[in-house]
Amino acid sequence: MERLWGLFQRAQQLSPRSSQTVYQRVEGPRKGHLEEEEEDGEEGAETLAHFCPMELRGPEPLGSRPRQPNLIPWAAAGRRAAPYLVLTALLIFTGAFLLGYVAFRGSCQACGDSVLVVSEDVNYEPDLDFHQGRLYWSDLQAMFLQFLGEGRLEDTIRQTSLRERVAGSAGMAALTQDIRAALSRQKLDHVWTDTHYVGLQFPDPAHPNTLHWVDEAGKVGEQLPLEDPDVYCPYSAIGNVTGELVYAHYGRPEDLQDLRARGVDPVGRLLLVRVGVISFAQKHFRRPRQEDRLRPGIQGNTVTNAQDFGAQGVLIYPEPADFSQDPPKPSLSSQQAVYGHVHLGTGDPYTPGFPSFNQTQFPPVASSGLPSIPAQPISADIASRLLRKLKGPVAPQEWQGSLLGSPYHLGPGPRLRLVVNNHRTSTPINNIFGCIEGRSEPGFRPRRSLLFISWDGGDFGSVGSTEWLEGYLSVLHLKAVVYVSLDNAVLGDDKFHAKTSPLLTSLIESVLKQVDSPNHSGQTLYEQVVFTNPSWDAEVIRPLPMDSSAYSFTAFVGVPAVEFSFMEDDQAYPFLHTKEDTYENLHKVLQGRLPAVAQAVAQLAGQLLIRLSHDRLLPLDFGRYGDVVLRHIGNLNEFSGDLKARGLTLQWVYSARGDYIRAAEKLRQEIYSSEERDERLTRMYNVRIMRVEFYFLSQYVSPADSPFRHIFMGRGDHTLGALLDHLRLLRSNSSGTPGATSSTGFQESRFRRQLALLTWTLQGAANALSGDVWNIDNNF
Neighbours of 530 (CB within 10 A): 17
Amino acid at 718: H
Confidence of residue 44 (pLDDT cuts 50, 70, 90): very low
For 287-301, 347-361, 687-701, 706-720, which range has the lowest pLDDT when averaged over its residues? 287-301
Q: Are 438 and 103 in contact (CB under 8 A)?
A: yes
What pLDDT is stored for residue 84 in this prediction? 54
Model confidence at 748: pLDDT above 80: yes
Give the helix/strand (H/E) hosting 190: strand 190-202
Query: pLDDT digit string (tens) for 115-170?
Result: 222 333 334 344 333 344 455 566 666 666 666 655 566 677 777 777 777 888 88
Higher model confidence: residue 454 or residue 37? 454
Q: Are 198 and 466 in contact (CB under 8 A)?
A: no
Model confidence at 743: pLDDT above 70: no
Is residue 773 helix, strand or coil?
Answer: helix
Give the Cα separation of 82 and 459 in Å (integer).
Answer: 13
What pLDDT is stored for residue 240 in this prediction? 94
Give the Cα separation of 266 and 773 in Å (integer).
Answer: 56
Confidence of residue 246 (pLDDT cuts 50, 70, 90): very high
Model confidence at 232: pLDDT above 70: yes
Model confidence at 390: pLDDT above 90: yes
Is residue 605 helix, strand or coil?
Answer: helix
Q: Are 730 and 737 in contact (CB under 8 A)?
A: no
What pLDDT is stored for residue 33 in this prediction? 37
Confidence of residue 321 (pLDDT cuts 50, 70, 90): confident
In sequence order, the β-bridge partners of residue 25 are 34
Give the Cα separation of 107 and 127 in Å (integer).
Answer: 10
Query: pLDDT digit string (tens) for 190-229?
Result: 888 888 888 899 999 999 999 999 998 889 999 999 888 8
Model confidence at 63: pLDDT above 70: no
What pTM did the predictor assign?
A: 0.71
- CA 375 to chain CA mean position, Å: 25
Q: Are 593 and 519 in contact (CB under 8 A)?
A: yes
In sequence order, the β-bridge partners of residue 158 are none
For 91-105, 190-204, 490-504, 616-630, which range has the lowest pLDDT when averaged over its residues? 91-105
Sign of the Cα torsion 374, 380, 384, 385 reads negative
Whose CA is closest to 338, among 575, 78, 583?
575
Model confidence at 763: pLDDT above 70: yes
Query: Which residues contact residue 299 at a Cβ distance below 8 angstroms, ignoring those fewer than 6 apart?
Result: 344, 345, 369, 546, 708, 715, 716
Q: Measuring CA to CA, how many Å separate 159 from each of 431, 600, 615?
A: 21, 21, 37
What pLDDT is stored for residue 229 in this prediction? 86
Q: Measuring CA to CA, how many Å separate 391 from each of 324, 407, 410, 411?
A: 29, 11, 7, 5
For 21-25, 472-476, 477-481, which range has the lowest pLDDT when averaged over its residues? 21-25
Confidence of residue 288 (pLDDT cuts 50, 70, 90): very low
Sign of the Cα torsion 347, 350, 356, 358 reads negative
Model confidence at 422: pLDDT above 90: yes
Model confidence at 586: pLDDT above 80: yes
Q: Are 100 and 481 in contact (CB under 8 A)?
A: yes
Model confidence at 174: pLDDT above 60: yes
What pLDDT is stored for residue 317 in this prediction? 92
Q: Measuring CA to CA, how many Å separate 551 from each of 90, 200, 465, 683?
A: 20, 21, 10, 27
Confidence of residue 247 (pLDDT cuts 50, 70, 90): very high
Model confidence at 94: pLDDT above 90: no
**CA angle (253 as vertex; 295, 382 as ends), nearest 5:** 105
Query: pLDDT digit string (tens) for 638-657?
Result: 888 888 888 888 888 888 88
Question: What length does the chain have?
Answer: 780
Amino acid at 763: Q
What pLDDT is stored for residue 117 in this prediction? 29
For 260-274, 300-314, 543-557, 617-631, which range has the lowest pLDDT when averaged over its residues? 300-314
Q: Measuring CA to CA, how many Å separate 36 from each of 20, 23, 40, 148?
A: 10, 5, 13, 22
Highest mean pLDDT among 328-342, 356-370, 687-701: 687-701
* 318 preceded by a cis bond (ω within 30 of 0): no
- State mean pLDDT over 78-99: 48
What pLDDT is stored for residue 82 in this prediction? 60
Q: Are 212 and 221 in contact (CB under 8 A)?
A: yes
- CA 670 to chain CA mean position, Å: 33
Instruction: Indicate the burial class of 524 (C-beta count within 10 angstroms; 0-12, 13-18, 19 or more).
Output: middle
Largest CA distance in the chain: 94
Higher model confidence: residue 172 or residue 148? 172
Higher model confidence: residue 223 or residue 405? 223
What pLDDT is stored for residue 151 in this prediction? 58
Model confidence at 60: pLDDT above 70: no
What pLDDT is stored for residue 224 in this prediction? 93
Q: Measuring CA to CA, how many Å separate 219 from each of 141, 213, 285, 390?
A: 71, 9, 30, 19
Q: Measuring CA to CA, how many Å separate 239 from each of 134, 233, 343, 510?
A: 67, 13, 17, 53
- State mean pLDDT over 233-261: 91
Q: Are 392 and 411 in contact (CB under 8 A)?
A: yes
- CA 675 to chain CA mean position, Å: 37
Confidence of residue 316 (pLDDT cuts 50, 70, 90): very high
Higher model confidence: residue 6 or residue 584? 584
Quick one: how many helices (H) and strands (E) in the chain?
Answer: 24, 17
Sign of the Cα torsion 593, 537, 607, 565 reads negative
For 93-102, 401-410, 560-569, 675-684, which range has the lowest pLDDT when averaged over its residues? 93-102
For 261-275, 430-444, 608-622, which range has the lowest pLDDT when averaged over its residues? 430-444
Give the Cα separation of 441 and 316 in Å (integer).
Answer: 57
Confidence of residue 87 (pLDDT cuts 50, 70, 90): low
What pLDDT is stored for residue 398 in this prediction? 92
Higher model confidence: residue 598 or residue 740? 598
Query: pLDDT digit string (tens) for 501-553?
Result: 999 999 999 999 989 898 888 889 999 989 888 889 888 999 988 888 889 99
Long-range contacts of 540-543 (CB under 8 A, 24+ apart): 540/496, 540/497, 540/498, 540/508, 540/512, 541/497, 541/498, 541/499, 541/500, 541/505, 541/508, 542/497, 542/498, 542/499, 542/500, 543/499, 543/713
